[in-house]
Amino acid sequence: MTGHWTLVRAEEGGFGNRTLYSMARANLKNLTREAKSDYRRRIEDHLNSNNRWQVWQGVQHLTNYRANLRADGGDVVLAEELNLFFARFEVEPLEAATLQPMLHSSFTLTVEKCEVRCTLQAVNPGKATGPVGISGHVLKDCVDQLAGVLTQIFNQFQSQSTVPPCLKSPTIIPLP
């Protein structure tokens, strides 16, 4: 490797003399090519002989890897801060809330026909249709016929304390 640096210095010194510079550059190029092919042969030999340790040493040399062999003296304050920070995620969950059986109360939520009518009349007909494909114009024009039917449906769901699966499942419509 010392010869390599001698050639580099010779190349740098030959800037004033064109022939000296050309010779130094050619010698440097040849020496670099030989060093690369020699190194490639050594790595290939290690790989072919399944010598993992030598291959790992070569990789460490190429990447300038230096193992951190020093053990930290141990900053107790820093260790405690880290423990407190990460321990907050390991807090035991609170006792799971148990569902109390529903006691039938005298109060049940009911929807009035006038509320449904007001809601349907407030629909903006210029908006896009909903997932079922009913336009706002149809809802506004048929408010009197739909109000009674929808009121009965909503009140039935409230009295049964259930929501039908068709209302729970989303309908995904891709946008153009």
**pLDDT tens-digit series, residues 65-75:** 877 766 566 67
Q: Determine contact, residues 55/39, Cβ cutoff 8 Å.
A: no
Average pLDDT over residues 35-63: 84
* Higher local confidence (pLDDT), 33 or 133: 33
Query: 138's torsion region: left (phi>0), alpha (psi -120 to 50) or beta?
Result: alpha
| Distance from chain centroid for Cα 116 | 44
- Which residues are CB-neighbours of 132 under 8 A, at least 6 positions away? 171
Asked if the model's pLDDT at residue 25 lies above 80, the reply is yes
